[in-house]
Amino acid sequence: MNRRPQFQQLVFLAPLIAVITLGTARAAEVNYDETRAGVVSLPDPLKMEDGRSVTNAAMWRQLRRPEILRLFQTQVYGRPLPRPVAQSFRVVAEDRSALSGRATRRDVELDITAATNGTALKFTLFLPNHRPGPIPVFVGIHVFDTTHPHPQPARARQLTGAPKITMEESARIARATADLILSRGYGLASLNVESLAPDSGTNYWRGVAQLCGRTLPGSPGDEETGALGIWAWGLSRALDYFESSPEVDARRVIAIGHSRMGKTALWAAANDERFAAVISNNSGCGGAALSKRNYGETVGRITSSFPHWFCGNFSKYAGHEDRLPVDQHELLALIAPRPLYVASAVEDRWADPRGEFLAALNAEPVYRLLNAGGPGVSVQPPPDQPVTGSISYHLRHGQHALTEYDWEQYLAFADRYVANAENHRQR
């Protein structure tokens, strides 16, 4: 038996192994120390690429906004899929006495290719029976999963933050959430992610991307849309359906999302200005949180765990966030002047609550230019003390979740800035 060569090989490889191990240890370290989050120099949303300052609303709309949108499309999320040339919606089921007679439930499917009968999207819409239309609607992806008769425990966990939740408990929360929203006179719609883009690195393209012509597996190309962009496309298609339904007030549709679906809601509303308002609940990295801060989840981590969410180019900024030509406060600025709610949770450090607040704060100059207010404070408010304005914000005690407390704030925000606002679509 000659073990020596193996030993020699090991000695030879030792420095390499040490470097790899050290590298892994470093990569494994997540920074939660504010003093090490880095001094962030953010791109100025009101400074053109050629150096000119943006001094009025027309300049923002015609020149600067398209520049920023293009950067997000080519460097972060990918180029959006087009609106289908031909699309048809089918109501596959309707129950006019859902939720103990309080709501009408409608299951809708969208076909985008007549030839292959490709179902691109499935969603469920609940409308309150007690109020006449047209009805303002909250729309999100899986955000209302627990309103379904057989909620998924994993999704319920996401909604409640409870690590081990029973089906009964999740159904109870679902029902309470739905009752609350409907009793306040809003409709709610929940999209199913599977037909759009399954949330998996290997299968994400086997939905709408395939219907739109992708034939091979693999991560998104440099500027090709990832799953977040496909999910956002789905939100826009649901809005197309609302525009064709007289009971829905399509001018008052609020995109809402928790976590990865919060990122999606923001991106949907940035691209599609028909959304009247957006609510980002604990959306974190790739959502409301600044990418250039080193705190919690980083571009490096998110693009290695979820390469299928973003366009290929985004991963090039892993560890080089300083080179990003754009940051998430500018994503929020693309929502302006429409009402925007950003919410964080104290224990959700992975999502960088302070980075989420700073993004909202740094979107404010654009809101002001367009005669809308910002959060109205310059320091992050203490827990459970929401600040309201066209940009509203709260930091809630507790974990990564969409809770009843959050919903209470969102309903008050929707009442004030969307449902009862006459001028919310004026720009």
- What does the alpha-carbon distance between residue 368 and residue 337 come to, in Å, rounded to a whole number? 8
Reply yes or no: is the peptide bond before residue 136 cis, omega within 30 of 0. no
Considering the complex, state which of residue 146 and residue 259 has its C-beta at the smaller distance from ligand GTR.
259
Per rule CB under 6 A, is residue 228 in the interface with ligand GTR?
A: no
CA distance 37 to 294: 4
Site for ligand GTR contains 353 (CB under 6 A): no
Does the active-site annotation cover 259?
yes
CB of 284 to ligand GTR, least distance (A): 5
Which one from 195, 259, 280, 344 is the annotated catalytic residue?
259
Considering only 173, 285, 333, 370, the residue that binds ligand GTR (CB under 6 A) is 285
Work out whether 260 is an interface residue with ligand GTR (CB under 6 A).
yes
Min CB(276)–ligand GTR separation in Å: 24
Tell me, by CB under 6 A, how many residues bind ligand GTR: 7
Q: Is 303 in the site for ligand GTR (CB under 6 A)?
A: no
C-beta of 262: minimal distance to ligand GTR in Å? 8
Q: Smallest gap, in angstroms, from Cβ of residue 374 to ligand GTR?
A: 25
Residue (104 or 264) nearer to ligand GTR, CB: 264
Question: Which residue in 104, 245, 259, 264 binds ligand GTR (CB under 6 A)?
Answer: 259
- In the residue annotation, 130 being an active-site residue is answered as no
Nearest to 196 by CA among 220, 143, 232, 151: 232
| Closer of 254 and 302 to ligand GTR (Cβ) | 302
Q: Which of 251, 416, 279, 415 is nearest to 335 (CA)?
A: 279
Quick one: residue 284, left, alpha or beta (phi over 0 = left, psi -120 to 50 = alpha)?
Answer: left
Nearest to 14 by CA among 25, 2, 26, 6: 6
Minimum gap (Å) between residue 27 Cβ and ligand GTR: 15
Range list of H helices, 136-282: 153-160, 167-183, 193-196, 208-211, 227-243, 260-271
Q: Determine, following the binding rule CB under 6 A, whether residue 302 of this chain makes contact with ligand GTR.
A: yes
Binding of ligand GTR by 355 (CB under 6 A): no
- Taking each helix axis from N to C end, the angle separating 260-271 and 65-75, rounded to the nearest 10 degrees, works out to 140
Q: Considering beta carbons, is residue 258 or 274 the nearer one to ligand GTR?
A: 258
CA distance 4 to 14: 15
Task: Tell me: does residue 284 bind ligand GTR (CB under 6 A).
Answer: yes
Residues 6+ apart with CB under 8 A from 312: 219, 220, 221, 222, 223, 224
Q: Does 297 bind ligand GTR (CB under 6 A)?
A: yes
Q: How is residue 397 annotated by DSSP? A: S
Rounded to a whole number of angstroms, the minimum distance from the CB of residue 415 to ligand GTR is 28
Question: DSSP string of 346-373?
Answer: TT-GGG-HHHHHHHHHHHHHHHHHTT--
Residue position matching structure tokens 């910002």? 374
Nearer to ligand GTR, 161 or 365 (CB): 161
Instruction: Report in angstroms how near the CB of residue 169 gets to ligand GTR at its nearest.
Output: 19
Q: How far is CA 152 from CA 132, 138, 148, 170, in A?
A: 32, 21, 9, 8
- Peptide bond preceding 220 in cis form (omega within 30 of 0): no
Q: Is 158 in the site for ligand GTR (CB under 6 A)?
A: yes
254 binds ligand GTR (CB under 6 A): no
- Residue ranges that bind ligand GTR, judged by CB under 6 A: 158, 259-260, 284-285, 297, 302
Catalytic residue positions, numbered: 259, 400
